[in-house]
Each structure stands twice: as structure tokens, then as C-alpha cells.
Chain A
Amino acid sequence: MTQKYQAQIYVTLRPSVLDPAGTAVQSGLSHMGYTNVDQVRIGKYVEVTLNADDEDAARQQLDRICDELLANPVIENYRFDLTGS
């Protein structure tokens, strides 16, 4: 009997990769008066709903999905939260 799971996946640039878009947003915030903002890094948020036998199986499959497609390990890291319904 499979169960439905919801994953909230966060894909972020690896710390060593420059994020010019984040830097531009930080500069914008600074112009708005938020001069205490040290750094902005912009990533991606992906919601995936999947059916799996149990939570372990769901996590394993999500790792593969992230490694193979949703994140490029050369430049990105990922993590996800998983909730069952």
C-alpha cells in the first residue's frame, strides 16, 4: 500500500559559486535603507508530490531526483522536508 508524500525541496547555490542576482538584491535592499543586510543568496524552491511505500523509499527516490535533475551538483546543493498526508 503506497502512501502520498509531499516534499519541499530547496536548491541553493554552493557557497563557492558567486550569486550576482543575490548581490544585486542586497544592493537594492541597501538602497531601501536595510543597510544591516550582509548577504542575499537566491535559490530555487520545488514542491514534489509522490507515492512511495514508506518514508525511507520516498527519501531515497527524492535524493535520486535531486542528484539527477533538480540540482546540478557542480554548482548547487539541495535539502528537502518531507511530510506524509
Chain B
Amino acid sequence: MKFGVVVFPGSNCDRDLVWVTQGLLNQPTRLIWHEESDLSDIDVVVVPGGFSYGDYLRCGAIARFSPVMQATLDHARAGKLVMGICNGFQVLTEAGLLPGALVRNRDLNFICDRVPLRVERTDLMWTQGYQKGQVITVPIAHGEGSYYADADTLNELEDNQQVLFRYCDANGNATPESNPNGSLNNIAGICNRQGNVLGMMPHPERASDQALGCVDGFALFEGLLKARPAIA
């Protein structure tokens, strides 16, 4: 499984991801500069966190015009795996690969914390390393992470089980109090209808190395190496 980690001017989680996929997972990994457009050697394209192009205008708005994002659109349309973490999630929504948008946090704070997430579905590559309903703890670090979509889109997401991770309390209850940023339906991570594109605000790559004290995010990356589960 070869990983490609996109690097925009302003990306800052790219090296952390390489540390996980190459350093811990022992998989071939290369950084993809934003001006590149050939991703034919890559299995999983990862759009990392950071502040792509300074997040000018809106988070992720400028990044989507880069050559590497055009290639990423083709990669996704071919049914191959694409994941966006934090700013990467914002880029994927701006690019139209995922529905909805990420807006200012409810309380206007930049939140840097570790929060519990409930894994909603485990029949996809992204989550097959977890148990359904499992509560994992993963860091978040964002100012614009409040998930928004109109009512129809939200219903569609829920009907098609496209919500993969939800903010919850320690017992797995998705309550208003356990919603750090005001995301609708406590949404922390979603996939597209086909399931090959994942976007999430929490940072699994920051919860993968034992040295950092929490490894709940590592199962996401490990799961990608297993056989693809049969889609239910």
C-alpha cells in the first residue's frame, strides 16, 4: 500500500503522517508537492492538516485549484482511496469530494484538545480496525471545524450511513455537551457515498505513536492494510 501525502504551502501535518505510514506502518510513502499532477503510483492520497495557502478567503478554498487537487479528484473518481484530515477535510469539501462545509467553531475558540469519538460504522477500509460503537480518543486542533450541511444533505448522510465518527462523551453518547465545536449531529468525520473518500477533523496521525501517549488513531491506518471488507 503506497501512501502519498499532499504538501501545500502552509501544510503542517504532512511529516507527522509520513512518520505514521512510513515510520510506524512501514509502508512506502512519498510527499506530493502541490504542483505535481501524476499520482499514478499512489494507492492512498492523504490531504493533511495545516493552513493551505494561508487559508485565505475560506479554509481550503484556494487549495482546490492546485494541480495536485485536480489529480486527487481523478484519483477519487477512479474509486481509489483519499483521506483528508482537518484542513484536508476542509479542502475536500471545498473541492466537492465531500458534502457540506466546515465553519467557525460554535464558541469561536481555536480548540486544541483530546476528545472521545464514537465509531459509527466498521464495514469500510477506514474503520475496519475498530469495533462498531467503540469510543476512541483522538486529538482535535481547529478553529473552523463545525460541520454544516443543509437539512436535505444531512438526512442523506445519515440515511446512507456516511457519518463514520461522531463526537461523544466517555460512554459513547453523542450529547450536546460532548460536541466541542457545534458540528451538526455531532459529526466529526464522514465519507462520500461510495465510501472511498474520508474527511475528518480529528487527527488520527497524532494518536498513533506510543510516545505521544495515545494510539487510538493507529487502527485507522492499520485497517488500510487489511483486505477490503465486503460492502454491506
Q: Does B150 contact A (CB under 8 A)?
A: yes
The residues of A that contact B150 with a CB separation of less than 8 Å are: 16, 74
Can you list 7 contacts pairing A with B, beta carbon distance less than 8 Å?
A18-B106, A20-B104, A21-B108, A69-B57, A72-B61, A75-B101, A75-B103
B168 to chain A, nearest CB (A): 21
A63 to B40 CA separation, bound complex (whole angstroms): 35
A59-85: contact bitstring with B at CB < 8 Å (1 yes, 0 no)?
A: 000000000011010110000000000
Indicate whether A74 sits within 8 Å of B149 (C-beta atoms), given known contacts A18-B182, A69-B57, A69-B61: yes
A5-27: contact bitstring with B at CB < 8 Å (1 yes, 0 no)?
A: 00000000000111111001000
Kindly identify, within residues 92 to 122 of chain B, every residue whose CB is under 8 Å from any CB belonging to chain A. Answer: 93-94, 99-101, 103-108
Interface size class of A (residues with CB under 8 A): 10 to 19
Contact residues of B: prevailing secondary structure: loop
B101 contact from A20, A21, A74, Cβ within 8 A: A74
B interface list, Cβ under 8 A from A: 57-58, 61, 65, 93-94, 99-101, 103-108, 146, 148-150, 182
A interface list, Cβ under 8 A from B: 16-21, 24, 69-70, 72, 74-75
B51 to chain A, nearest CB (A): 17
A80 to chain B, nearest CB (A): 16
A17 B148 Cβ-Cβ under 8 A: yes
A17 to B104 CA separation, bound complex (whole angstroms): 10
A24 B101 Cβ-Cβ under 8 A: no
> Which residue on chain A has the smallest CB distance to residue B105?
A20
A16 to B103 CA separation, bound complex (whole angstroms): 12
Give 7 closest A-B pairs by Cβ, nearest first.
A74-B101, A75-B101, A20-B108, A20-B104, A20-B106, A72-B101, A17-B148
> Which residue on chain A has the smallest CB distance to residue B60?
A72
A76 to chain B, nearest CB (A): 8
> Which residue on chain A has the smallest CB distance to residue B151?
A16
B104 A21 Cβ-Cβ under 8 A: yes
A20 to B111 CA separation, bound complex (whole angstroms): 15
The residues of A that contact B65 with a CB separation of less than 8 Å are: 69
The residues of A that contact B146 with a CB separation of less than 8 Å are: 18
